[in-house]
Amino acid sequence: MSTNRRVKRSKDRFKSAWSKVADRLGRRILVYLPDTESECPNCYYDKVNRTSSGVPKVSPGNPNYFTTGRCPVCHGKGVLTIVRRRCLYGIVIWDPAGDRMNSYTFTEAGFEGATRVEIKTDPCNLDVIKQAKYFVVDGVVCKLGSPPIIRGLGDKHVLKALLFTTDKPKLNSGEIV
């Protein structure tokens, strides 16, 4: 068998193995990105004092119109905070075995008592993961422990990221492999 055919077969095997595993074990991973702020649509923003000017943009008759006190939409802040959240699907491994950690530059310093979580997902999620403020995996808030790495064959790569949490994961959340 030629090298090319061998590589192709190996790629195909990998591809099918990965998609089977992802279908079977793929779990929801919530990624919280840095909040963004947008100017309140209901009142004028006071750029000097960085607050609501207290002057409505809407006309009398609009349910959000106000004459005295705080804007009912932004509560006097002048801006609305938008929580940005993405949902990824991937494999979640709580407390991955020690030898798997060889591929990471993870340092234990500062993470004493932390529980590690390995996630494997599609490399197209790289930017989202790098920007993440924090993650919620199985209901537990986690942070990125080391830069994500991409591993795989050909164009079928897998993104691996190591997260950590100081919260205790639920007892039944261990991965079944």
Which residues are near Zn ion by CB under 5 A? 40, 42-43, 52, 71, 73-74
Cα torsion angle, 111, 163, 103, 177, sign: positive
Residue 149 CB coordination number (10 Å): 16
Q: Supply 12's token pair.
A: 């195909």
Residue 64 CB coordination number (10 Å): 14
Shortest distance in whole angstroms from residue 133 CB to Zn ion: 25
* Residue 16, beta-bridge partner list: none
Q: Supply 58's token pair.
A: 């809407």
Smaller CB separation from Zn ion, 43 or 137? 43
The answer to whether 118 touches 89, Cβ cutoff 8 Å, is no
Shortest distance in whole angstroms from residue 58 CB to Zn ion: 10
Shortest distance in whole angstroms from residue 98 CB to Zn ion: 53
Smaller CB separation from Zn ion, 41 or 139? 41
Smaller CB separation from Zn ion, 72 or 152? 72
Shortest distance in whole angstroms from residue 84 CB to Zn ion: 20
Smaller CB separation from Zn ion, 71 or 137? 71
Smaller CB separation from Zn ion, 42 or 165? 42
- Tokens 């309140």 belong to residue: 40
- Tokens 């009142």 belong to residue: 43
Q: Supply 120's token pair.
A: 């494997």
Shortest distance in whole angstroms from residue 77 CB to Zn ion: 7
